[in-house]
């Protein structure tokens, strides 16, 4: 396979995965906004998990929300640049696990960037807690971003699979054994 065909195949794989993870995020947010949280409320699911509607105008865990609230497009533009970088990295890596992880991160980042561009904030709704301590509310984009980071970590620390090779036509072959 030529380099051009290999890159094209990789880009198609990356685009399909990125789109799938983006759609998981956007569909889950649509269901929460349009079906589940009408009206907005806290829905206890288990003793440690609630569905709670929130809007994050900052970055991770709400950091810099006051600074970025007036310029939601700035963070969306930064994320768009990062997504392009992730796709290029994914196209160039030889590790399938790393490529999938990068596509997951890019798809999740795209989902959050679209939220920020469309409504000025990211929709969050997954609320895990222990007693009165609550982890910051998050969404499916965040889940796939963390999953993608985990895959990249695993690709970095686990040995790469040995590629199966086929003997070339010019390689000598062993004849039948004689006893």
Catalytic residues: 124, 142
CA distances from 177 to 10, 86, 171, 173, 174 (A): 44, 53, 18, 12, 8
Q: How many residues does the chain have?
A: 179
CB 112 within 8 A of CB 149: no
49 strand-pairing partners: 128
In angstroms, rounded to a whole number, what is the distance separating the alpha carbons of residues 123 and 115?
A: 7
Token pair recorded at residue 148: 């993608």
CB 114 within 8 A of CB 83: no
């Amino acid at each position: 396979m030529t380099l051009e065909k290999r890159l094209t195949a990789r880009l198609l794989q990356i685009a399909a995965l990125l789109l799938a993870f983006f759609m998981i995020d956007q569909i889950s947010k649509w269901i929460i906004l349009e079906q589940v949280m009408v009206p907005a409320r806290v829905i206890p699911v288990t003793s440690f998990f609630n569905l709670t509607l929130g809007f994050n105008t900052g970055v991770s865990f709400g950091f810099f929300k006051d600074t970025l609230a007036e310029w939601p497009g700035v963070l969306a533009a930064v994320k768009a640049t990062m997504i392009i970088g992730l796709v290029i990295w994914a196209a160039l890596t030889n590790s399938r696990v790393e490529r999938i992880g990068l596509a997951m991160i890019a798809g999740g980042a795209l989902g959050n960037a679209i939220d920020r561009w469309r409504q000025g904030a990211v929709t969050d709704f997954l609320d895990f807690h222990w007693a009165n301590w609550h982890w910051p509310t998050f969404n499916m984009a965040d889940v796939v971003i963390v999953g993608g980071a985990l895959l990249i970590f695993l690709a970095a620390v686990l040995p790469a699979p040995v590629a199966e090779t086929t003997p070339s036509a010019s390689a000598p072959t062993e004849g039948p054994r004689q006893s």
